[in-house]
Chain A
Amino acid sequence: MATYSTNEFKNGLKLIIDGDPCNIVENEVVKPGKGQAFNRVRLKNLKTGRAWEKTFKSGESVEAADVMDTDMEYLYCDGEFWYFMDPISYEQIPASLEAVADAKLFLKEQDSCVVTLWNGAPLTVSPPNFVELEVVETDPGLKGDTAQGGTKPATLSTGAVVRVPLFIDQGEVLKIDTRTGEYVSRA
């Protein structure tokens, strides 16, 4: 079992806490006067997304999590799993709904995604920051309303629903910011 000592702690280091893989978000060494030093660490549970603060006695060892971020190409979904391919080895890996979570709304075939692997299995999936998706359903576009700020909902090919300007028509391809789920422009 690989472990990290507290003096190796730094932001981004992955640890196993109570069986779950966690990421160090912030690491502060606190030391009262002449006494024992502690590492006060802000952690994020990579499975649940929960962030909290935990304290370690300096010198303590903590189990390392075999977690790494890899660039992979999204291939297809068979209704149960989302399949990603390593562009170098061509190895294909299925990701569960739990791992893909909200990212499924922005996954487009052949887009390159960051897949976080824990012990070789997908833990989380991050789509590219910007994706181009087709509008499959929206109210008819209103010509001449380009300057005004009104918006309407539009359903994209992935099933995502985003607010778009009134002049957007069905069949158009839009650029979407996946971090906020907001419309950016026509593609």
Chain B
Amino acid sequence: MIDTTGANPAALTAKNVKQRLGKRAKILAAIRCYFDQQQVLEVDTPLLSDYPVTDPQLDNIKVENPTVNYQSTSQPWLYLTTSPEYAMKQLLSLGSGSIYQISKSFRQDAPGPKHSIEFTLLEWYRVGFKITDLIDDVTALLMTLMPTGLMANGVEILSYREAFLRHLSIDPFSLTSVQLENFAHQKIDCDFTDQDKDIWLDLLMSHCIEPNLGHQAPCFLIDYPASQAALAKITNDQQGNLVAKRFELYMKGIELANGYEELTDHDQHVDRFEQDNQRRCELDLPTQAVDQHFLKALKSGLPECAGVALGVDRLLLLAAS
């Protein structure tokens, strides 16, 4: 995607440059104003990291480390960060208190209408917040940033299970991987098979549910299956299913933000990184070294907090629509 919201000069013309840049600057200023009022501190962490991420669905862009010949401790590669998460969590563990950052992130994604290898993320962490507090926080921020028309109906909070029941009439927790596969093959023309239940949930979510989300009002999708927890805490929902304390925010079918009540336990992190690398093996992907700086920070203690990453370019596109 060539970003048309003012970040990329190639997408601007003499005719629209002032208007596009103006809109972008106004939104960035409004974000800073909101967090300033909330007494959340702006931070600025490195874009180059010593370690890649283990998440099987994410790939870092790596660059040659020019200092490798001068310092014996240097690694041959450095990794452009896919989000400022690990560095910001290191600051939290040092006692920074609530923090936010507006920065570039990089992902080796296939480019598409909604994906670009370089994009602007707004990421923030609120110490002492639960996932519900964070949803309120995101809503309050959107109220200050988005045109009133987009926010007129408030926000919708929908569980992952309810979304499947509403749009596909199936319960994603009670069906087995094989049942979901059979169901998906009826709905979508595809030939692959997979024993991983999450593949089928992802397929149905991306093809049959996501496009319908957030058209009346911004939609917070909550209570993801525990297998999709990433670095969120896990709990039981009312049906007794294990669910992640995580949300994705959708507006007009577009995924805008991804929030977590953060896992703070060191050993559970180690387990999840190991699971990531196991999955990488199954997918014939290279396993990745775990970020030792991050693990050290976790060992010293990450405060209870909730954090969210929001795509600024997508926000601007939605605000302009």
Chain A residues at the B interface, C-beta cutoff of 8 Å: 7, 28-40, 52-60
- B192 pairs with A60, CB closer than 8 A: yes
Chain A residues with CB under 8 Å of B207's CB are 30, 38, 40, 55
Tell me the nearest residue of chain A to B205, going by C-beta.
A32
Within 8 A of A (CB), among B176-226: 188-192, 194, 198-199, 201-203, 205-207, 210
- Smallest Cβ distance from B223 to chain A, in angstroms? 14
Within 8 A of A (CB), among B97-124: 109-113, 115
- A37 pairs with B188, CB closer than 8 A: no
- Smallest Cβ distance from A48 to chain B, in angstroms? 15
- B110 pairs with A7, CB closer than 8 A: yes
- B190 pairs with A34, CB closer than 8 A: no
Cα–Cα, bound, A55→B202 (Å): 12
Chain A residues with CB under 8 Å of B283's CB are 59
Given A29-B109, A37-B110, A55 contacting B199 (CB threshold 8 A): no
- B57 pairs with A37, CB closer than 8 A: yes
Interface presence of B3 (CB below 8 A): no
Tell me the nearest residue of chain B to A55, going by C-beta.
B190
Given A31-B109, A52-B189, A36 contacting B258 (CB threshold 8 A): no
Tell me the nearest residue of chain B to A39, going by C-beta.
B110
- A35 pairs with B189, CB closer than 8 A: no
Interface presence of B248 (CB below 8 A): yes
Given A55-B188, A55-B189, A57-B192, A35 contacting B205 (CB threshold 8 A): yes
- B255 pairs with A33, CB closer than 8 A: yes
Cα–Cα, bound, A38→B199 (Å): 10
- Smallest Cβ distance from A179 to chain B, in angstroms? 29
Interface presence of B291 (CB below 8 A): no
Tell me the nearest residue of chain A to B255, going by C-beta.
A33
Tell me the nearest residue of chain B to A59, going by C-beta.
B283
Interface presence of B230 (CB below 8 A): yes
Given A28-B112, A55-B207, A59-B283, A34 contacting B228 (CB threshold 8 A): yes
